[in-house]
Amino acid sequence: MNIKQTRFAMLILLLLLAAPLYAADWDAEGLAKAIASSPQRPAGDAERDAGRKPGEVLTFLGVRKGMTVLDVIAAGGWYTEALSVAVGEQGKVYAQNPPAVLQMRDGANEIAISARLADGRLANVERLDVELAAMELPDASIDLALTALNFHDVYNSYGEEAAVGMMKRVFQALKPGAVFGIVDHSGAAGNDNVQLHRIQQSIVEDTASKAGFVVEASSDVLRNPDDPLDANVFDPGIRGQTDRFVLRLRKPAEA
């Protein structure tokens, strides 16, 4: 075998060795099944799977094994667990919560996330119990960030400037070309979306653009055309079944 043939054979071998790595990346169905079968998953988590469709949402956002991800305002950690499964043993999940979120509802979120992470059950998860602005993560260190059903509270409670500031802090933590995913309850123009705990998708997109993100795509995977958009999201008649948008925001590669 001459040198050229040897190099070609080595190239083929390397490609074959690399193939399982790419084959192991998730499809929506496979990820959903892996999340559903997470060992000792807290009681009640599975009840939300049908409404939240984590396999479809996370694959739409581009999650892959080995990533370092940030769950922004993780609350009790439902998505933290889904992300932990998605990135695998070689990945890392930061579950960020402001102290006020952990103390809400008599400390319900603190109790939930503490129980979820007890005894190192999700070994690839690290809690960040700090305000987003106070995170000490290195700049450009995160492959993917997500906040689910939180952005409306930031915008509605503290205004556009604070919402842009939140997005800029996430932008700073993300690697160039990385994604920030936002899931939220759809609001309609003219409704009291503050009282309803909703927000218009167009407002989120505008805020993202002001923070430097490119609004790359939106998904209809969590849409519910039967939601009239005029009920409070905690109303028993619509809770867990609201019309929701999923946005994929991209930090420009040159940023």
- In CATH, what number is assigned to the domain containing residue 70? 3.40.50.150
Question: Is the confidence at residue 94, as pLDDT, over 70?
Answer: yes
Residue 87 pLDDT > 60: yes
Structural domain includes residue 16: no
For residue 59, tell me if it sits in a domain.
yes
**CB distance 173 to 145 below 8 Å:** yes
Collapsed DSSP state (helix, strand, coil) of residue 70: strand
The pLDDT, as a whole number, for residue 6 is 47
Domain annotation covers residue 15: no
Of the two residues 146 and 17, the one the predictor is more confident about is: 146
Structural contact between residues 182 and 134, judged by C-beta atoms closer than 8 angstroms: no
Model pTM score: 0.88
Tell me, yes or no, whether 3 lies in a domain. Answer: no
25 — pLDDT class (breaks 50, 70, 90): confident
- Cα 51 to Cα 176: distance, rounded to the nearest angstrom: 32
Model confidence pLDDT, tens digit, residues 114-125: 999 999 999 999
Q: In whole angstroms, what separates CA 235 from the centre of its chain?
A: 24
Q: Is residue 244 part of a domain?
A: yes
Q: How far apart are CA 183 and CA 24, in angstroms?
A: 26
Question: Residue 13 domain-assigned?
Answer: no
Answer whether residue 238 is part of any domain: yes
Give me the residue label for tokens 């960030």.
145
Number of domains in the chain: 1
* Residue 55 belongs to domain spanning: 25-250
Rounded Cα distance between 178 and 161, Å, is: 23
206 pLDDT above the threshold of 80: yes
Indicate whether 18 belongs to any domain. Answer: no
> Which residues are bridge partners to 96 per DSSP?
72, 128
pLDDT tens, position by position, 172-183: 999 999 999 999
Q: What is the pLDDT of residue 216?
A: 97
